Structure 1
Amino acid sequence: MKQSRRNFLKFAGLSAAGLCLTPAASALASGVKNTPVKVKGHALHAERWAMVIDTRKLNTKEAIDKLADACHHVHNVPHIDSKQDIKWLWEGGYTEVFPNQENNFPSEELEKRSFPLLCNHCENPPCVRVCPTKATFQRPDGIVAMDYHRCIGCRYCMAACPFGARSFNFMDPRPHLDMDNLNMEFPTRMRGVVEKCNFCVEKLTDGKLPECVEKSEGTIVFGDLKDPDSPVRKALRDNFTIRRKPALGTEPGVYYII
């Protein structure tokens, strides 16, 4: 009897959790390895998604903030006027972005540049290894995604990420959203949940490029790192690029043209 009751409660709990999943959240979680992925016929596919940012053209706080506003609007990222602000895309200076570069006397122009910062979607992501609930996982196409329903707010992933790419909702983010302009196709989060850039995985499913890429006016390119004919491989062949903290061995998927 006890065993039957335990099984019934377990089944009821799983059923309730399944009913709580929104279609958008289910789409975000659908990329777990070894799980069949149902996508639309015109979805964009890659063996390894990557991004190349041309900092010769995209290098002002105003331009980066404009892209951040677009990104945050699409993903219902709240603006909280405090140190607890949530960020998916933001700007930083040269010494913050590239603290390990050997040349400690760069040009004045380079030192004055602003650089866009986001999740690097590393090939060897430490955040995935430390997550106890698999709320953070790596998709087969290299994107480091999140299932917000699995996040328990332990913040191990924040401690493991060497790029500061994750934010924690210390308070309920929903009162800080513009409810009149809410994107109803993307889930909002709740207090106690970590979030970050997801390379616009939901837009890739719809056959579209990430929001920041579409709004960048050609200063950001996106494509399959494993495809020699992709835009990112062409950009890497034609330009000198660097990545953030390469010595750590995480193999970031975001490259910067200097």
Structure 2
Amino acid sequence: MEKDRRDFLKIGGISVLGLSALPVFEALAQGKDPKAMPDPRALQATQWAIVVDMKKCWEEQEKRQCKDCILACHKVHNVPSIPDAKREIKWIWQEEYKHAFPDQANEYAPEQVKDHPFILLCNHCSNPPCVRVCPTKATWKRAEDGVVMMDFHRCIGCRYCMAGCPFGARSFNWGDPREYLDPQQENPEFPTRRKGVVEKCQFCAERLAVGLQPACVEACKAKALVFGDINDPESEVRKILAENYSLRRKIELGTGPNVYYII
């Protein structure tokens, strides 16, 4: 009875607001909580993917040692800059070809490919092993768009996901990462983590929810990073892949990585 009374008062208050409140009124009439409704600006896909054009990326690196995508990602997500390489936290990073593609590297590869670093990040696999091994479901794959997510509050720091990921895309906080953040640069809109928690790239799920592209894609002046629905034949990522030969990391493992590289 009390619930019915509250709903009546809500609807009565909305009526006073006029037609501008119709979407909220309709949500209440259907028994939905307006606060939980998705933002109408949200970007949608059945499987998000990124295409990285390394030719464009290398050209920009040669001009000015560009790391815009890394800096933008780490700034938006409060990723700490830790000097100790054994304790570093990384969501996007650079790696040599022989380490990025150990199964495809050979001594006869073009010098440009061997000598230039590749941009690496979580592959948001179609069949993510990290999800299968997580005992608390702190990491999971979203059914609606394939993004492999992390719930920092549910993570118990067992690091099973790190052992399960064949791409080294997850970092563990051995200490309090907040000690390495500049209070003047900290982004208050994204949660900071704590000691004993694993973290990684989440394809900027919080930005997708309000209609924005991932921070790395937005920051890339060379347009070397392209984001889109890999299942949509009309998407830009599909059109680019149809016109260029591409590589994916360790595809023989069957994880189905959704980051593609054009070299």
Q: CA deviation at 1:102?
A: 6.5
Query: Which residue number in structure 2 is paired with residue 223 of structure 1?
Result: 228
1:157-196 matched pairs, under 5 angstroms: 157-196=161-200
Paired positions, count: 222
- Asked if the contact 2:139–2:150 (Cα under 8 Å) also holds between the matched residues in 1, the reply is yes
Distance in 2 of aligned mates of 1:251 and 1:152: 27
What SS is found at the alignment partner of 2:57? coil
Name structure 2 gaps, 5 residues minimum. Answer: 1-35
1:98-177 matched pairs, under 5 angstroms: 98-101=101-104, 103-140=106-143, 141-177=145-181
- Asked if the contact 1:65–1:90 (Cα under 8 Å) also holds between the matched residues in 2, the reply is no
- TM-score between both structures, scaled by the size of structure 1: 0.83
Pair 248,104 (structure 1): closer, same or farther in 2 beyond 3 Å: farther
Distance in 2 of aligned mates of 1:64 and 1:199: 21
Q: CA deviation at 1:63?
A: 4.8
Q: Deviations over 1:199-242 (max 9, x none)?
A: 00000001000011011121110000111110110111011001
What SS is found at the alignment partner of 2:56? coil
Query: Which residue number in structure 1 is paired with residue 252 of structure 2?
Result: 247
- The letter of the residue matching 2:83 is D
- Asked if the contact 2:97–2:105 (Cα under 8 Å) also holds between the matched residues in 1, the reply is no
- Asked if the contact 2:68–2:216 (Cα under 8 Å) also holds between the matched residues in 1, the reply is no
- The letter of the residue matching 1:154 is C
Query: Which residue number in structure 1 is paired with residue 57 of structure 2?
Result: 58
- Asked if the contact 1:44–1:206 (Cα under 8 Å) also holds between the matched residues in 2, the reply is yes
- Asked if the contact 1:64–1:90 (Cα under 8 Å) also holds between the matched residues in 2, the reply is no
Q: Which has the larger radius of gyration?
A: 2
- TM-score between both structures, scaled by the size of structure 2: 0.82
- The letter of the residue matching 2:82 is I
Which of 74, 77, 88 matches 1:75?
77
Distance in 2 of aligned mates of 1:63 and 1:89: 16
Give identity over the alignment, percent.
56
Distance in 2 of aligned mates of 1:177 and 1:236: 38
Output the aligned Cα RMSD: 1.4
Distance in 1 of aligned mates of 2:75 and 2:218: 14
Distance in 2 of aligned mates of 1:194 and 1:256: 26
What SS is found at the alignment partner of 1:142? coil
1:22-37 matched pairs, under 5 angstroms: none
Distance in 2 of aligned mates of 1:152 and 1:65: 32
Query: Which residue number in structure 2 is paired with residue 89 of structure 1?
Result: 92
Query: Which residue number in structure 2 is paired with residue 233 of structure 1?
Result: 238
